[in-house]
Amino acid sequence: MTQPTLILASSSRYRRELLNRLGLDYTTESPDIDESSLPGETPKDTALRLSEMKARAVQANHPGAVVIGSDQVADLNGVKLGKPHTFERAVEQLEAMQGNTVVFYTALCVLDAQGKAEKLVSATTVKLRPLTRRTIEAYVEREKPFDCAGAAKIEKLGIALMESVSSDDPTSLIGLPLMKLTTLLAHAGIEAVDGLGETC
């Protein structure tokens, strides 16, 4: 049985690197959407809404394709932390986070070939070490984490800033929860391993 075309609705190199682990044939397309939060929207709800918006924006250009959308928002005591984009903003985010617990909500949406959405959220709780401004600035200068929510890249030097990490999916914090993704893809007719969608 031929599997449908698979598209990752993202320009993120981190998500591409993660999806490559599954060995699937896919293409990428960057969705053109407004990623602003809505008034009163929780970080979790923002991530869920944007993950579906990204997937639908891309599927509109590719009817019949299976599309993966994902979005991540960090929650610091109810305050949303997105991508910092600048050195100054990255330092500001990390100063606010240091010594505190932050929850990173990584939302996932898979649209099947008929456009039916299946969505979920993976939560990762991160406790940052107490950090001096010197340490924060040195980290930001070296890593330039301007495209990561909360400016902390666990897959690189950012791990040194963290005291503890707790998650239901080890790849969630990097940007794409692969354990959950393989389940949603199987439901949409794309299996990373033959027979994965079958039950014992």
Q: How far is CA 4 from CA 185, 186, 189, in A?
A: 11, 11, 7
Report yes or no on whether pTM surpasses 0.85. yes
Q: What's the rounded Cα separation, in Å, for the pair 60 and 64?
A: 9
Phi first, then psi, for residue 54 (nearest 5°) are -60, -45
Residue 101 DSSP code? E
Token pair of 172 as six digits? 């969630």
> Domains of the chain: which residue ranges?
6-187
Q: What's the rounded Cα separation, in Å, for the pair 26 and 16?
A: 10
The CATH number, out of the four listed (3.20.20.70, 3.90.950.10, 3.40.50.200, 3.40.50.880), of the domain defined by the range 6-187: 3.90.950.10
Q: What's the rounded Cα separation, in Å, for the pair 26 and 11?
A: 13
53 near 47, Cβ under 8 Å? no
Known catalytic residues are 71
Q: Compute mean pLDDT per 10 residues along the chain, 200 residues long, and list them.
A: 87 93 96 89 94 98 97 91 93 94 96 97 95 95 91 85 93 94 96 67
Half-sphere exposure of 168 toward its Cβ, with a 13 Å CA cutoff? Answer: 11
Q: What is the pLDDT of residue 200?
A: 45
Q: What's the rounded Cα separation, in Å, for the pair 37 and 96?
A: 20
